[in-house]
Structure 1
Amino acid sequence: MADLTITAASVIAGADAARESGTAGETITAGKAVYFSSTTKKWMLADSNSATAEARKCTGIALNGASLNQPIAVLKGGDVTIGATLTAGTAYYLSDTAGGICPIADVGSGEYVNLLGLAKSTSVLAFAPQYPGVAL
């Protein structure tokens, strides 16, 4: 398998979504996994094998696209129609591609494990990130 192929225009927060607004620290597409940089105070793409420890811990899903220094809305928890085809009941994780989301089979050796959520259906991800801080 591979990273989810996300249609940005189809990313929609669910009724139970916890949201936060902020500023993009780089170009971000809707549906990408992000983290809040304590250094820049901006949202950045998360990456499971980043050299930066903070970047390995996804804390949100971008709900809209934004370029550097533009406003961005971020899902912090709850349901999201992710704009990709999911397998119901499957767990999805942070990928080693910046902002990517993948099943556990694609999390490789040396990558840090970051569970993003479980698929409630073929289109809805229950986003509830968990990061134990360990690499495979």
Structure 2
Amino acid sequence: MTDISITAANVVAGADSSAVSGVAGETIAAGKAVYQSSTTKKWMLADSNSATAEVRQAKGIALNGASLNQPIAVHKSGDITIGATLTAGQAIYLSDTAGGLCPLADVGSGEYLCLIGLAKSTTVLAVDIQFPGVSL
């Protein structure tokens, strides 16, 4: 699988960003897909082929880097400059690399589909997370 190469320093929320603050449950880089643990309430890296259902459903994109127990801002919806080169119109999904993002062509057999959003341009991703709960 080929994940989108994100430059963390270039991740910026758009004007219509809906974001929340929280605490990181592990080291997380800006631009990584995350979910909030139901037990610890901390933000963790999402992963499309995790054995744990909760982990397979991303809830947002980290807007800043954080280590364990540090504050983190999470972009939940709206536009985000993702710090990567995108193809306008392309759908972007959660990958099987913890926190990674990839196009549909790189979602493999046995992975759960979690649509992160659609590329509005070569730099901006319109985040609208959809999780149908089905695997390929």
TM-score (norm 2): 0.99
- State the distance in 2 between where 1:113 and 1:9 align: 27
- State the distance in 1 between where 2:52 and 2:67 align: 21
Query: Which runs of no fewer than 5 residues in structure 1 stay unpaired?
Result: none
Equivalent residue, structure 1, for 2:6: 6
Q: Percent identity?
A: 76
Give the alignment of 1:96-115 within 5 angstroms.
96-115=96-115
- State the distance in 2 between where 1:39 and 1:97 align: 22
- Structure 2: which amino acid aligns with 1:128? D
Give the alignment of 1:119-134 within 5 angstroms.
119-134=119-134
Shift of 1:111: 0.2
Equivalent residue, structure 2, for 1:33: 33
State whether structure 2 residue 46 is matched by structure 1 residue 43: no
- State the distance in 2 between where 1:88 and 1:2 align: 18
Query: Which runs of no fewer than 5 residues in structure 2 stay unpaired?
Result: none
TM-score (norm 1): 0.99
Q: CA RMSD in A?
A: 0.7
Shift of 1:40: 1.0
- State the distance in 2 between where 1:14 and 1:89 align: 18
Give secondary structure in 2 for the equivalent of 1:9.
helix
- For residues 70-112 of structure 1, the C-alpha deviation after alignment (integer angstroms, 9 at most, x for no partner) is 0000001000000000000000000000000000000000000
Shift of 1:2: 1.3
- Structure 2: which amino acid aligns with 1:83? G
